[in-house]
Structure 1
Amino acid sequence: MIDLKNMPIGSIKGVGSKTKETLNKAGIFTCHDLLHFYPRTYEDRTPRYLLHDAPLDTKVALVMRVVSSPRVAYTPTGKRILRFSARQRENSPAVHIAFFNQTYLLNTFRVGSDWRFYGRLTKSQSGYYMFSPTFEPILSVSADTVPIYSPLTSLSSNKISKLIKTVLSSIDKNEIEDTLPDFVRQENALMPLGEALFEMHLPTDPRLLEKAKERLIFEELFDFSLRAERLRKREDTEIVPPMAKTDMTPFFNALGFVPTSAQKRAISEIEEDLTSSTHPHRAMRRLLQGDVGSGKTAVAAAAIFIALKNREKAFIMAPTEILAKQHFETFSSLFEKLGFEVLLLTGSTSAKERKLIKEKLVLNTPLLLVGTHALFEDDTEVRDLTLIITDEQHRFGVNQREKLLSRATVRNSLVMSATPIPRTLAMFLYAGLDISILDELPPGRQEISTLLIPPSKRERMYGFIEKEIEAGHQAYVVCPLVEESDDEILEREVSGEGKSELISATDMAESLRVRFAPHKVGLLHGKMKSPEKNEIMESFIRGETKILVSTTVIEVGVNVPNATVMAIENADRFGLAQLHQLRGRIGRGSDKSWCIFITSSKSHDALSRLDYMTKCSDGFKIAEYDLELRGPGDFFGSRQHGELQLPLASMSRDTTLLKKAMEAASVFLAKTEMK
């Protein structure tokens, strides 16, 4: 049998040092890793349309004959393009084909030669267009179903496909060692691993491809279920001494407001977890789930207070440095009044500060440490760590949870999440955790008014934002992309199309700087480096920046009570759960707030979804509605749960397989423990 894990990537023909380095950076070290780098999607390149029936603005395959000699032309901005025309039939309209930066193809397309072209078909006043399509001579057309891989730096989808085909051509699929236990595979009628991998990368039949996906999805869920079950069993056996009952009066006095009944209930559950006199006393394992603005931070603070009053240490971890700094400021103002020290440890903490923090961590004194992934450093030694709190847990993943839990001598864990999670998914992600739900908002929070407008009312919206700024408030403007790509700009130039309907954050920021001068307009997006992002965000938090133009990097946790307007451009491009998280960035103070969705979409479904958002502010109801609408899809959006190492599985789609995988994992562990 062939063990793919023992076949290094460097042994593949065509893998040189640079290719190997690129693959290694992507976590691909063996043939096993490469064959588990699955296609991002599949393209159906079956030439099934005549031109007049072909759908526009979507990718289609057309068999056409070249009818004009290729020539090099220039766009109005001076870019070189290769252009020629092709027709399906003698009397059918010509399709103008253009390649950007590929003038080396000048002698490839002879007049009279027949090709299969596959690309996005568009139409403007000057005719039909295809830009940079893939192409094959009609006499040597490959499979109709073509796997498409996410490119890795210098490795295109085609290059990755060739490497995978090289590996598959050198092995027998029946000789690949199966990684699932035989009884699990047989009981669930799953395809053998070798057959599944071949079908994923060299698809032969749509039904077999679905069976291959089912097998590989099951394996992902089974492996993760094993880890989660082992973690749960290990945590269940951890017996820890209970903490002493704590007088919470000083805490509530310092808090400055009366908690909601939901907050009080959650605090009581945490108190019971930490101080119960039951024997043996199990460590706390609790998920605190609440909608945006429901007051999770105050509940976490109560848990921290109990730990500190017991002269212990507590950690709270945030997914971003910005959020960690916000937590640090919030907890510092609270706990310093109560006589406790709060420290901050992030990736940008200086070596000198880091050294001082590490020295304090080994002392027998109570303190709270707030930080990011820097808390996972192997050389950070902690003594008397009693409580670990993780904020937005699905952005950490089980790897970090296991790593941090393995370091502490005494462990109680509280997980906070603002993402409404279906119970099946919660069982999977948070195996063994009890759940507290905050199902009401603190008093004084005004409901956010949500409006849906067309682009024609944008200037009127700007006038409203201007009034809010003059009243001393601030605004967010969210765009779906950072900047328009060069190819998109060139396509519009060549075809004579007007401006793109999609608005980029970069263009929007430039436009608003002119429109709202002299007010400061900031630009924030994921391509920026952390120090730059932090400075831009802090300028907004300080109130210096009046309008922050951003992509969805401001989705999680950012707290600026002075921001009262959230305008979301091309709102139809976002999932409802994501829109709700974005909307949760405003309405965090006592002032009235407005969220405005701008869309030019005429789609009935898109407008219905957005209209629902204008009428509903309950995150759990929105999540249920979103799942119903989308059907198959990823609950967390575009692969936010990549940390879970689930390249294929979808939590909303694969719930049936998930239940089977969890059951199989329990049976497998029980069988192995009996041996």
Structure 2
Amino acid sequence: MTNDTPDWIRLHKALAIEAEHGFIDLMGKQYRFSEFLSLTFGKFPVAIPAIERRRWQELATKFASYPNLEVKDRQTLITTTRRYLDQLQKQQEDPEEIEKQGSRGAGEQGRIYKSKVPKATPVVNEVSRRLAPKIDQKLSDLPEIGIRKADKLAALHLYTVRDLLFYYPRDHIDYARQVNIRELQAGETVTIVASVKRCNCFTSPKNQKLSILELVLKDNTGQIKVGRFSAGARFTSRGWQESMKRRYPVGSVVAACGLVKESKYGLTLDNPELEVLANPGDTIESLTIGRVVPIYALTEGVMANMVRQAVTAVLPAATALKDPLPKGLREKYNLMELKDAIANIHFPTDSDTLQSARRRLVFDEFFYLQLGLLQRQQQAKAIQTSAILAPKGQLIEKFYEILPFQLTGAQQRVLNDILNDLQKTTPMNRLVQGDVGSGKTVVAVVAILAAIQSGYQGALMAPTEVLAEQHYRKLVSWFNLLHLPVELLTGSTKTAKRREIHALLETGQLPLLVGTHALIQDPVNFHRLGLVVIDEQHRFGVKQRALLQQKGEQPHVLTMTATPIPRTLALTIHGDLDVSQIDELPPGRQKIQTTALTSQQRSHAYDLIRREVAQGRQTYVVLPLVEESEKLDLRSAVEEHQKLQESVFADFQVGLLHGRMSSAEKDEAITKFRDNQTQILVSTTVVEVGVDVPNATVMLIENAERFGLSQLHQLRGRVGRGAAQSYCLLMSSSRNPDAQQRLKVLEQSQDGFFISEMDMRFRGPGEVLGTRQSGVPDFTLASLVEDEEVLLLARQAAEKVIEIDVTLERWYLMKEELKYRYDRLMGGAILT
């Protein structure tokens, strides 16, 4: 061996031969085994980093006394030495640590080595607090991590010990189950321990930048061929490939773990993790093999093992964590202590322990969110400066007289909730949920009239001009009969008209203003704003909603949505609101017949449209995009309109509506359709809300698989608004089973709350609302779909805590943790 680098193969071979012969201190050609090892470890190769030299010298001393040791002590020394050399060799030959890898024996001076990986136990049981790092200590200050690794971990926003402790794995893989080769079954994740029968490492003939390590492993039940793939020019050097062969010599014992899958050679392990063992029964030191393995979110330049090793370095600090949750609360809800939960979320002892750890940490995510929302709600209720609005009066009585229908029981119940709120000096902050066509607008009008008859003004904000226009038309028809003025303010309003509206508002002559974002973007000044109504409120950002509220002095706020929100999602984003549901449709509404069709059944859809239009009724045809997309092979509204008008429905008038049209063009298209001048309206999703044509009975949705269930339900709600039977046709060319299953939900249910629940299960909470809003917290572990039970318990616990002490002064640690989580995890985004 040279004085540049250890001759790994001679060292491994000498140790293996001595073990095979029963630890008898074999005599070689020149030296006894113990003499050879003592001489080898007595020299410091240049390539050995300084931090390892003390351990290297200790081994020289131990092997010098090898002849005087008992057999069991000799066995222990050889086992620990082989494991140490394997670990050290991996550190030195890790391509990530080598600036440039040459051929065998070249470029050794250019290597950069890692510091020694700590032999921390993956599961922390009892660790001396004296040796544990401090919670607020910088990662760069820890010798096991250092400045260079800390810089890389910073790309994951990990700077301190606390950051790393609370950087939860996004998943776990259970490699804890060890099996024999003959017991392998495709689809399982397992660990096997076997000897190397054959080893080869070579460059792929199909890809010159891909290196393949092939091992044939055997145990007493069979054999298996496995391969590891390493992409990059550095891996294809002869030197690196030869080092792999030396690491896994024939006859060495290897632990391998991975996913079992079928290959052309039979069963194999998919790109397995490997560790060389001294003997089949040895303890596995790997942070992966034979364990429940944490899977972390990574980024470029940050490898999985780097994060795992960094976590093991800081995990002892978990023992010093003070639990913010009182012992009584933990016992009541059967929660693991925080320090144990942190240790076991990273490296659990088994799957059951992992579930207990996850449950505690999920509870924390929900608990502090609910605590913050409830605290905010209580603080809002402490304000006593809002206007008291009269629930009875001539305006409301007259409105009931001109209504051509009776309010449903659900409408009356929700209205009572609202009118009770308006009689308090605490500002109302209520959300009204109701399915499409349930009559939310009528309820809002009564609330607006309560404000007007009490001498205050009202504002109604909608997310689109189409919806704002629809509200304005309906309100004008009612307010004219009540001799009340109402105006519309949108981005299309002319300058002269804007000035007129501004002036009327400031003097108080205009009691109600309907509009879009223009209500907050314009220099709009209300004389005496008493009530704010926000429709489809989830389409507005947090700041936009707050800006409208600031147009008055603590006005009452009523928000509405026709997108039914699942209970868990409502608690999460509206936990500080009072929620009312209109869960009853007006009498006489017929069930909309919904059918999912394939492109081969298109003729059936066209036949139905012809039949309905021939009877004087109308049809929507909805498409996702305005122009063709190369990525998404979708029909464009423009081309579809041309095709339908010229060839399919040449006998009828076909209109066109899409988001890129000017406001005047949109108004013209909607007016023609409303007046039945066009019988078929080809449109993008701008018709999702705001277009109300009771004569329309058919809704044909192209590429229905591209829409969310809640959005499809909204679109379906554009028909079925009259007395005639209506139809919704979901056209899809997708053969994906999941897509077909989603459309079946629409076929089988008309319940918007059930549909939104299913939508959340299919696509996640952020998409249920039609757009990803900052108001939906980005939980690390918690799932609104899977963890409903934990969320409800966390809400219950938070309510009890707030009931006892809204300031949290008696629970200092809890108060500090709440502040930390709001500042760092929520970022204030949960404001409503």
TM-score range normalised by the length of the shorter chain: 0.5 to 0.7
* 2:473 counterpart of 1:340: no
Residue 375 of structure 2 aligns to which amino acid in structure 1? R
What secondary structure sits across from 2:464 in the alignment?
A: helix
* 2:435 counterpart of 1:291: yes
- Check the 8 A contact 1:190/1:214 in 2, yes or no: yes
Residue 488 of structure 2 aligns to which amino acid in structure 1? V
* 2:325 counterpart of 1:325: no
Residue 489 of structure 2 aligns to which amino acid in structure 1? L
- Check the 8 A contact 1:66/1:84 in 2, yes or no: no
What secondary structure sits across from 2:389 in the alignment?
A: coil
Residues 211 and 259 from structure 1, CA distance in 2 versus in 1: closer, same or farther, beyond 3 angstroms? same
* 2:172 counterpart of 1:42: yes
CA distance in 2: counterparts of 1:93 and 1:587, whole angstroms: 63
- Check the 8 A contact 2:135/2:162 in 1, yes or no: yes
* 2:186 counterpart of 1:54: yes
What secondary structure sits across from 1:327 in the alignment?
A: helix
Hey, what does 2:634 align to over in structure 1? 508
Within 5 Å, give how 1:546-625 maps onto structure 2.
557=689, 559=691, 564-567=698-701, 580-581=713-714, 583-584=716-717, 587=720, 592-596=726-730, 598=732, 611=744, 613-620=746-753, 622=755
Q: Deviations over 1:423-478 (max 9, x none)?
A: 6875676557555432343567654221234x573554675699699997442356
Hey, what does 1:475 align to over in structure 2? 621
Q: Deviations over 1:195-240 (max 9, x none)?
A: 3233333444222221221111211222122223223323444444
* 2:531 counterpart of 1:387: yes
CA distance in 1: counterparts of 2:515 and 2:224, whole angstroms: 65
Residues 559 and 92 from structure 1, CA distance in 2 versus in 1: closer, same or farther, beyond 3 angstroms? farther
- Check the 8 A contact 1:260/1:441 in 2, yes or no: no
TM-aligned CA deviation for residue 290 of structure 1: 1.3
What secondary structure sits across from 1:212 in the alignment?
A: helix
Residue 40 of structure 1 aligns to which amino acid in structure 2? R
Q: Deviations over 1:112-148 (max 9, x none)?
A: 879969679688xx999999x7654454672554444
Hey, what does 1:523 align to over in structure 2? none
Hey, what does 1:261 align to over in structure 2? 408
TM-aligned CA deviation for residue 173 of structure 1: 1.0
Residues 62 and 207 from structure 1, CA distance in 2 versus in 1: closer, same or farther, beyond 3 angstroms? closer
Q: Deviations over 1:488-515 (max 9, x none)?
A: xxxxxxxxxxxxxxxx9712348x9888
Hey, what does 2:114 align to over in structure 1? none
Q: Deviations over 1:88-126 (max 9, x none)?
A: 779999999999x96765557789879969679688xx9
Q: Which runs of 5+ in 2 are unaligned?
A: 1-128, 249-253, 277-285, 646-657, 671-677, 811-832
- Check the 8 A contact 1:397/1:644 in 2, yes or no: no
CA distance in 2: counterparts of 1:615 and 1:190, whole angstroms: 40
Q: Deviations over 1:560-601 (max 9, x none)?
A: 857943447585x99866764564465567883323264876
Residues 610 and 300 from structure 1, CA distance in 2 versus in 1: closer, same or farther, beyond 3 angstroms? same
- Check the 8 A contact 1:304/1:368 in 2, yes or no: no
Give the counterpart of 1:643 among 775, 785, 795. Answer: 775
CA distance in 2: counterparts of 1:93 and 1:570, whole angstroms: 47
CA distance in 1: counterparts of 2:260 and 2:496, whole angstroms: 55
Residues 376 and 35 from structure 1, CA distance in 2 versus in 1: closer, same or farther, beyond 3 angstroms? farther
Within 5 Å, give how 1:26-37 maps onto structure 2.
32=162, 35-37=165-167
Q: Deviations over 1:613-646 (max 9, x none)?
A: 423312345567x59x979996986996873436
Residues 672 and 616 from structure 1, CA distance in 2 versus in 1: closer, same or farther, beyond 3 angstroms? closer
TM-aligned CA deviation for residue 547 of structure 1: 5.6
CA distance in 2: counterparts of 1:355 and 1:134, whole angstroms: 70
TM-aligned CA deviation for residue 250 of structure 1: 7.0
Hey, what does 1:368 align to over in structure 2? 513
- Check the 8 A contact 2:153/2:159 in 1, yes or no: no
CA distance in 2: counterparts of 1:632 and 1:60, whole angstroms: 27
* 2:452 counterpart of 1:312: no
Hey, what does 2:794 align to over in structure 1? 661
* 2:457 counterpart of 1:457: no
Hey, what does 2:554 align to over in structure 1? 410
- Check the 8 A contact 1:395/1:640 in 2, yes or no: no
Q: Which piece of structure 1 moves more, 61-70 or 439-448?
A: 61-70
Q: Deviations over 1:69-89 (max 9, x none)?
A: 543649xxxxx9959796877
- Check the 8 A contact 2:387/2:555 in 1, yes or no: no
CA distance in 2: counterparts of 1:556 and 1:9, whole angstroms: 53
- Check the 8 A contact 1:86/1:94 in 2, yes or no: yes
Residues 168 and 555 from structure 1, CA distance in 2 versus in 1: closer, same or farther, beyond 3 angstroms? farther
Residues 147 and 466 from structure 1, CA distance in 2 versus in 1: closer, same or farther, beyond 3 angstroms? farther
Residues 560 and 464 from structure 1, CA distance in 2 versus in 1: closer, same or farther, beyond 3 angstroms? farther
- Check the 8 A contact 2:699/2:718 in 1, yes or no: no
Hey, what does 1:174 align to over in structure 2? 319
Q: Which piece of structure 1 moves more, 266-275 or 219-228?
A: 266-275
Q: Which runs of 5+ in 1 are unaligned?
A: 75-79, 484-503, 521-532
Residues 597 and 51 from structure 1, CA distance in 2 versus in 1: closer, same or farther, beyond 3 angstroms? farther
- Check the 8 A contact 1:266/1:299 in 2, yes or no: no
What secondary structure sits across from 2:660 in the alignment?
A: helix
Residues 451 and 514 from structure 1, CA distance in 2 versus in 1: closer, same or farther, beyond 3 angstroms? same
Residues 221 and 596 from structure 1, CA distance in 2 versus in 1: closer, same or farther, beyond 3 angstroms? same
TM-score normalized with structure 1 length: 0.65
Larger-gyration structure (1/2): 2
CA distance in 2: counterparts of 1:35 and 1:404, whole angstroms: 41
Residues 286 and 54 from structure 1, CA distance in 2 versus in 1: closer, same or farther, beyond 3 angstroms? same
Hey, what does 1:272 align to over in structure 2? 419
* 2:389 counterpart of 1:243: yes
Output the aligned Cα RMSD.
6.2
Residue 243 of structure 1 aligns to which amino acid in structure 2? L
Residues 507 and 60 from structure 1, CA distance in 2 versus in 1: closer, same or farther, beyond 3 angstroms? farther
- Check the 8 A contact 1:392/1:417 in 2, yes or no: yes
- Check the 8 A contact 1:62/1:88 in 2, yes or no: no
Percent identity, aligned pairs only, is 25
Residue 535 of structure 1 aligns to which amino acid in structure 2? R
CA distance in 2: counterparts of 1:130 and 1:463, whole angstroms: 53
CA distance in 2: counterparts of 1:620 and 1:216, whole angstroms: 29
TM-aligned CA deviation for residue 412 of structure 1: 1.7
Residues 388 and 8 from structure 1, CA distance in 2 versus in 1: closer, same or farther, beyond 3 angstroms? farther
- Check the 8 A contact 1:317/1:371 in 2, yes or no: yes
What secondary structure sits across from 2:559 in the alignment?
A: strand
- Check the 8 A contact 1:631/1:652 in 2, yes or no: no
Residue 456 of structure 2 aligns to which amino acid in structure 1? E
